[in-house]
Structure formats: structure tokens, C-alpha cells
Amino acid sequence: MFENILSVSEITNLIKSVLEDGFSEVNVIGEISNFKAHVSGHWYFTLKDANAQINCTMWRGLNNYVFFTPQDGMKVIVSGKITVYPPRGNYQIDVRAMKPAGMGELQLAFEKLKQKLAAEGLFDPEHKKPIPKFPQKIGIVTAIDGAALQDMKSIAARRYPLCELVIAPCRVQGEGAAEEIVSSIKLLNQYDDIDVIIVGRGGGSLEDLWPFNEEIVARAIFDSKIPIISAVGHEIDFTIADFVADLRAPTPSAAMELATPNIEELFAFINEFSYYFTQNMYNIIEDYKYQVTQLITSYGFRIPYDNIKNRIQYLDNLIFRFQTLVDNKVNHEKNKLELLSSKIQSYDVSNVLKRGFAIVKQNGKVVHRLKELCLENPIQLHFYDGEIKVNE
């Protein structure tokens, strides 16, 4: 009754053989759901339509060639083969390649990520860092062989040759480009002397520009401690990076112009400033002089000044009175001195002798009275014009 009995493993392996041989190459279109990027680097997701769903696996290495990050709700076309996972008995698609089902799917992914990051506040103006006016070092994240880099170098040399350019090269399109852009931004952030970073590339299709719409690039720009100018594509192109960056430039060339001052304008400003410096300073001084004069001559300032003048006049009067008293005192004492001097002179011996008197001396002493005179002894008579001796 029960013939050809198979074990679970045997029947599963038979099914596995039939499916994998019969569906070794399939292209399937469907909508992604339950997308998970495992820490190992592998992707696991479900592909579904209105009536059915199938599990999908895309291994690390193969998914590096996908230029976008899949998101739930995105319609894609996958290429691969049907495989069976024996432990669960599930069949799945072993995905080898993936692409959007159309440009509309990329635009849908763009809008979804834009809404998500906007809700988190990554686009808010209060997070925007100011761009320095006179940068000494500018970091550039772009392709080393791209025309955009050459244009930026040329503009920097013409506008502001004092500035040093630090280039962190990376791929700017295709698989792995987003990861390289993130690495270059982080590399430049390890330096303390870079003033601003320009992240960008030249124009291209939506697919070419897609690395700048990746969430990892947006978060790297937001987390940068150095201000970032986004310069992706042409003026009509907008990417997620443009919304997160501190400043958006329509082109890489415009970004370098925004990042650097114009040396010709600087020289013109210096020349104009030097030319009008003297006149401007004179005008400023005259303005302040007029203001000071107005203040000094105002009623409030005039009252203290009048009080000072009155006090000065009062002090002058005191000094005059003091000098007058001193002069009178000096003249009075001078007259008394002259009178005394006149009296002293009247008692001068020479003056007495001039009037015909003589001094009588005996034994070297002046004889004041007759009774003091001894006629037997020698006598000296001293006159104004000479001296004689008697009784020698």
C-alpha cells in the first residue's frame, strides 16, 4: 500500500533539484517589503504583488553592484535563480542583480527618504553651520578624474590662490559610491584645520546622481563638524544631500565661488578703503567734535563751568588782597630799617671825626673824661685824616 516512501530530506532535495534546474535564471518584478540589511552585509527581503509573495536573498558582494539602497514599497526587477532552503522547506530567489522597475520608483524612494529625514529634523535651518568667509583650507569630496574637480581647482586658483585644497577622492556614481563618499567625508573630519568641505560631482542622470540620495550620505553630511557645501549635478538637479548640507550650490564651480572670496574684489575694497580712509577719519572726528562741542556748551555743562570761573575770580581776589597786605608790611618794615640805618650812620665814628672831632687815646685806650687823662704819659690823638702822639 505504501510504496516508494521518501524522507522529508529526500523529497525536499528532489523538489530543490527540480526547481533549481527548471528555474536557473529568472527575472521577476515585484514590490519590496520587510527589507533587512544584515550586519553580515547580506540583504533579506520579500518580493510581492497583489496575489503572492516570495522570499529573496542577495549576498554581500553581489549587492555592492546595486547603485541604490532598496526600500520597502519600491518596485524592482530582480534577476537570479530559484533555490530551496532545506531546513525550512522554503523556496526563494537567490538574487544576482537588481534594478528599479522604472525611474518613478527612484523618485518614490527619493520622496520617502526626504520625508523621513525632514521629520527627523535633518533639514532644519537651525542645524546649518555658517560658511567661513576667508577659508585657509577647503576639503573636496569628488572623483579625482572628473571635470568638476578641474573646474573647482581652476576657480580657486583664480579667485583665492591663498587657499589650500585638500582632496579626498571617491567614486561618485555606481555601486559602492555612497560608501566611498561617506568615508571621504569622515576622513576630512579627522583634520582640525579644514574650514569647509565641498561634496559633489558634475551632471548626470538620476541613476548617476543616486549616491547623493542615499541615507548614509545624508547622515554623514549632517554629522560633519565641518560646514559642507553640496554641489551635485546642474542647477535643476536636487538631491537629498542638497537638503542636508549647510549650503547648496547649483554646480561644483558655483560651490567653489561660494566658498572663496574674490581676490579682485578684496583688492578693490582695500584700494577704496585706503583712498577714502583719511577723509572718512576726518569726517568721523568732525562729527564727534561737533557732538562734544554741543555737549560742552549745553546748559548742563555751562553751570559747572560758570561756578568754576566764579571760584577762580574769588581766588584771584584773595591772592590780590594777600599780596597787598604783604607789600604794605614789607614797605613799612623797610622804612623802619632805613630810619634805623640812618641813625646808626649818624653815630659812625668816621662821620664824627669828619666834623672836626678827635679821639684821645692813652695806653691804647680811649680817654672819655678829663680825669682819666695823665699828662705825663704819652697821648695819642686820632683825627679823621690821621693820628699824632704828644709827650713822647
Q: What is the DSSP letter of 369?
A: S
Mean pLDDT computed over every residue of the chain: 86
Strand partners, 30: 76
Domains and CATH numbers, the chain: 8-101 (2.40.50.140), 110-124+134-261 (3.40.50.261), 349-390 (no CATH)
Q: How far apart are CA 201 and CA 141, in angstroms?
A: 9
Ranking 52-56, 79-83, 221-225, 355-359 by mean pLDDT, the lowest is 355-359
pLDDT of residue 369: 82
Contact 33, 70 (CB under 8 A): no
Q: How far apart are CA 163 and CA 135, in angstroms?
A: 7
Q: How far apart are CA 13 and CA 85, in angstroms?
A: 10
If we measure between CA atoms, which residue out of 364, 240, 157, 286 comes closest to residue 230? Answer: 240
pLDDT range class, residue 267, cuts 50, 70, 90:
confident
Using the CB atoms, write b or e for 339-361: b if 16+ within 10 Å. eeeeeeeeeeeeeeeeeeeeebb
Which residues make Cβ contacts (< 8 Å) with residue 361, sequence separation at least 6? Answer: 367, 379, 380, 381, 382
The alpha carbon of 330 is separated from its chain's Cα centroid by a whole number of angstroms, namely 77
Tell me which residue has cell 529625514.
117
pLDDT per residue over 85-122, tens digit each? 888 878 899 999 988 887 677 788 888 888 999 999 99
pLDDT of residue 129: 95
pLDDT range class, residue 266, cuts 50, 70, 90:
confident
pLDDT per residue over 315-326, tens digit each? 888 888 889 888
- Identity (one letter) of the amino acid at 139? G
Q: How many residues does the chain have?
A: 392
Residue 329 in 3-state DSSP?
helix
Q: Is residue 1 pLDDT above 60, yes or no? A: no
Q: Is residue 238 pLDDT above 80, yes or no? A: yes
pLDDT of residue 316: 83
Range list of β-strands (E), 160-281: 164-169, 196-201, 228-232, 247-248
Contact 352, 346 (CB under 8 A): no
pLDDT of residue 117: 93
Q: What is the DSSP letter of 198?
A: E
pLDDT of residue 191: 94
pLDDT range class, residue 2, cuts 50, 70, 90:
low
If we measure between CA atoms, which residue out of 221, 244, 34, 231 comes closest to residue 120? Answer: 244
More confident call, 368 vs 124: 124
- CA dihedral 218→223→228→232, nearest 10 degrees, is -10
If we measure between CA atoms, which residue out of 232, 239, 221 comes closest to residue 185? Answer: 221
Residue 387 in 3-state DSSP?
strand
Look at strands 26-37 and 75-85 and give their pairing.
antiparallel
Alpha-carbon Rg for the chain, nearest whole angstrom, is 58
Q: Is residue 364 pLDDT above 80, yes or no? A: no
Q: How far apart are CA 164 and CA 280, in angstroms?
A: 36
Q: What would the mean pLDDT of 331-342 be, rounded to a whole number?
A: 86
Q: How far apart are CA 269 and CA 263, in angstroms?
A: 10
